[in-house]
Amino acid sequence: MPFTLLPVLFFAACASAVDAAQDPAPTLEQSRRAELQRAGVGAQLTLWPVRLLGRADANVADALGLVLEKSGMPSLEAAGSTFDAKDLAWDAIPAAFGAHVKANAGKGGVPAGGWSLYAELLGDPKSGPKEVRFVVVDAQGDPVLVDRQTPADATFRRTAGADPDPLGCVTCVAERVFELAGWKKVAGGVRDGRFAAMWQKKSGAPDRQERAAMQQRRAALRGDLAAADFVVFAPLWHEAAGVDGPRFAAAVQQALACKSATAVAVPLEVAPSSNQQKRLYDLAGAAKARLAQEPAAAAYALAVDFGFDADGKRGYANVVVLTKAGELVLAEFQNDQHLLFQQLAPKTLADGERLAVAMLQKVLR
């Protein structure tokens, strides 16, 4: 080796040694997070009931599971028990939750191993969400991810801020889990996941076979719309019957250019629900029950259900069409996350009727 190269190699080796000495060993927190990152979206994650309005809510945790499944996580579990935060300050929650997970692993429906997540949503229905926070611990109960999001944070504004309800808030949690764990979402998500099946059962949504049958009925109606006749139930407005059924029926007939649309004076009754999808299929169930009691004089029946804030920025619209035999033809919903809703910004019952007509035209014309 030429002598002139020795100083170069010597100083390079010294520089490497100095760099190594200056590069500190990862902390325990960093090591735990790196382990979660390596596990990827296939990580076994147990979701504990989410604290909302001062109490633990398993339904909100199930909604989080649905969002995480859509992002590509196939190995999610629902905890079979509840973590009681006992009004602890947030700084005390990670350690308390970790101790609870470690003590209850393998007991009472709590899976052993993997990671566990507990979240809290702060705010109220009137003012909306103020903070979204969560902790993920490992199987030993040690904190891995601890996060708080407020309106000052971009992810909060994009999720809970834009959709100020529990679904928007758990979407915030899901987004932050992926951001902090360094994961990438899986295109198409998890097919036929357990949380999707759970929500389908809760909402009464049709299964795959029934959805295929609905497509065939919808195609048949679309192909012969000019000869179709409808009975139109009185619109439900904020869970109560509206008073302008004939006006709405006339608008439907004009918009669809169908043979006839006749208003039915007797309103439907649908139980209150904060789950819009469940309310949609409860509306369909109420219409089906009424058709069984009082057969329709038309081939199809139409039922609609609305509720909007006075500013037109939030609310819901549900539209269902059934055959006279009670077979579901279409079940469509809109809320403030949908483009058509945003364009029309409905505030009143009349606005809701216009939105419903637009929804029918989009599907049937």
Q: Confidence band (pLDDT; 50, 70, 90) for 18?
A: very low
Q: What is the pLDDT of residues 157-212, one digit of tens each?
A: 999 998 888 989 999 999 999 999 999 999 999 988 999 988 888 888 898 899 99
Please measure the distance between the N-terminal and C-terminal CA atoms of the chain and give it in whole angstroms: 83
Tokens 């998890």 correspond to 190
Amino acid at 236: L
d(CA 23, CA 286): 67
Residue 10 has pLDDT above 60, yes or no: no
* Among 259, 257, 281, CA closest to 271: 281
Backbone angles phi and psi of 363, in degrees to 5: -85, -35
pLDDT of res. 354: 95
What are the angstrom distances between the C-alpha of 299 and each of 200, 254, 322, 328, 331?
28, 18, 9, 12, 17
Is the pTM higher than 0.85? no
Which pLDDT band holds residue 8 (cuts at 50, 70, 90)?
very low
**What percent of the chain has pLDDT above 70?**
93
- Of 77, 50, 283, 265, nearest to 169 by C-alpha is 50
- CA 234 to chain centroid, in Å, comes to 29
pLDDT attached to residue 1: 44
Residue pLDDT, tens place only, 209-247: 999 999 999 999 999 999 999 999 999 998 777 667 899
Per-residue pLDDT tens digits for 323-363: 999 999 999 999 988 999 999 999 999 999 999 999 999 99
Domain residues of the chain, as ranges? 28-201, 204-364
Which residue, among 179, 192, 210, has the nearest Cα to 70 in the 3D structure? 192
CATH number at 204-364: 3.90.950
How confident is the model at residue 67, as a pLDDT? 96
Per residue in 131-150, pLDDT (tens digit) is 999 999 999 999 999 999 99
